[in-house]
A = this chain, B = another copy of it.
């Protein structure tokens, strides 16, 4: 349209004035018309980029940030070098409406670049980023509850492409909504595969401290292709509704690549780069480390320093935690940690322990490692499917969350043990995890102990809504009874009527019980049925009851 300005026939003053007004209008409207074409859903990713040919090191010598402005909200994000002279800025808008941005850079042509986009309401499949809710729980930004039912596949993303596809298919067909996975590859007795690409660029070979030959890395640059691949993997998880609980450091290197012993300045540059690239991914959680205390090359204080660095530099404040070895906790009360990510089976093996850490930390607790269903020689890798399912329910009934894991190896280390490499699920508990998630999502809200420290089998999710879990007990019958206390909710009273469903957590069935029950008078901290009616139960372990008030 602009070329029409350049023709100069003879016009009247009136006509000229008209053209001037047109020009002004165009000048005002044109950018907004163009930019308005760029519509970004809430919590989706806006990306823009700028070309600059950096003659030195584009990773370290070019600084670019962008400040995004929406009415009274302002966020500044780091840009990053994406290879091929391309400097990119990514941003996750949370609020609908017009967003403007302006860049800042030490390079003149990248500095003070402006633009805008329109953030539109998310569609019904996009619930947004997950955040802490109600002290002990999580919800998506749109208010939908998020009950973490996760599994682990530490190095799935470092395996061959075919296996990665199989893993994604397996996850798609599962009920999992969270996956623990590592940025750095894993070198472990049961995972020895050499990845095709690495986060850093190799510049040759060197002998390490132990005298072994290993690659020499250029820690001043990143391997852009590696991160582009990681992003596709995380987007693939997002497409199937899975949160990537991204493990940023881990001890399973043992001198092979040296990624567990990077200097602190490299660690922080790596974190900065990861956050610049992935901060705008709504399904990313930061897990500062797996088994932090087993990393020889970092001190406890350095871990806190790295966690703090993330907290201070992630403008979105993604969910963030850190995971230690068995019963090795860290200062989860610090603001850097949105929740406690714990390895400790003691918390869910017996009644009543799961809630303890919830009460202590006043944060959501995810038992991200309590052992795995499997057949490994290692004791942590040989739970039955029943045991793994039991542990997940023990966590849930205490108002916490237990991450599933599977470690079957039927032949040799070439087996794709899901816990390590992904592949297909070979166990039995993964389906029960999906069933548990359905039960949780069918409730009116998250679970909490109804009568803390006294009734360890009854969880409440509101007035007149209970899950009673019997664990390994086998009962022929059960006196209908409810605790007089009801967590933070309204207590039952005499005369309430309830329907009961028998949940078989193993057979994954929900069977309505044919009778209704009515509470009598409170008796010794409980409400029994007014006629002391019993439920008949099928003498099986792993049963639960869903009790719902109807009057």
Contact = CB atoms under 8 A, between A and B. Distances in A.
B357 A327 contact: no
Given A453-B346, A456-B346, A352 B355 contact: no
A328 interface: yes
Contacts of A453: 326-327, 344-346
A349 B352 contact: yes
Contacts of A218: none
A472 to B, nearest CB: 13
A453 B347 CA distance: 8
Contact of A344 (B331, B345, B356, B379): B356
Given A328-B359, A344-B453, A525 B350 contact: no
Contacts of A357: 356, 360
A349 B326 CA distance: 22
A350 B351 contact: yes
Contacts of A351: 349-350
Interface in A301-355: 326-329, 331-333, 344-347, 349-353, 355
Tell me the dominant secondary structure on chain A's binding face: loop
A332 to B, nearest CB: 8
A344 B345 CA distance: 20
A346 to B, nearest CB: 4
A336 to B, nearest CB: 14
Nearest to A353: B353
A325 to B, nearest CB: 10
A524 interface: yes
Contacts of A344: 356, 359, 453
Interface in A407-443: none
B360 A361 contact: yes
Contacts of A525: 379
Q: How many copies does the complex hold?
A: 2
A452 B356 contact: no
A454 interface: yes
Contact of A359 (B327, B359, B361): B327
Specify which of A328, A346, A362, A454 lies most central, judged by the most chain B CB atoms within 10 Å of its CB.
Answer: A346
A326 to B, nearest CB: 5
Contact of A352 (B333, B353, B362): B353
A357 to B, nearest CB: 6
Contacts of A452: 326-327, 346
A353 B360 contact: no
A352 B362 CA distance: 21
Contact of A353 (B329, B356, B362): B356
A397 to B, nearest CB: 13
Contacts of A456: 346, 349-350
Contacts of A353: 346-347, 350, 352-353, 356
Interface string A182-204: 00000000000000000000000
A456 B350 CA distance: 11
Nearest to A352: B346
Nearest to A456: B346
A76 to B, nearest CB: 32
A468 B331 CA distance: 31
A360 B361 CA distance: 9
B329 A360 contact: yes
A439 B288 CA distance: 43
A327 B355 contact: yes
Contacts of A454: 326, 345, 379
Contact of A356 (B328, B332, B347, B362): B347
A359 B344 CA distance: 10
A355 B346 contact: yes
Nearest to A334: B333
A346 B357 CA distance: 12
Given A326-B452, A352-B353, A356-B356, 12 more contacts: A327-B359, A344-B356, A344-B453, A345-B454, A346-B352, A346-B355, A349-B351, A350-B456, A353-B353, A353-B356, A356-B357, A360-B361
10 closest cross-chain pairs (CB), A and B: A350-B350, A346-B352, A353-B353, A346-B453, A327-B452, A327-B453, A327-B359, A329-B359, A329-B360, A356-B356
18 contacts: A326-B452, A327-B356, A329-B359, A329-B360, A332-B360, A344-B453, A345-B453, A346-B355, A346-B356, A346-B452, A346-B453, A347-B353, A349-B351, A349-B352, A349-B456, A350-B456, A352-B353, A356-B356
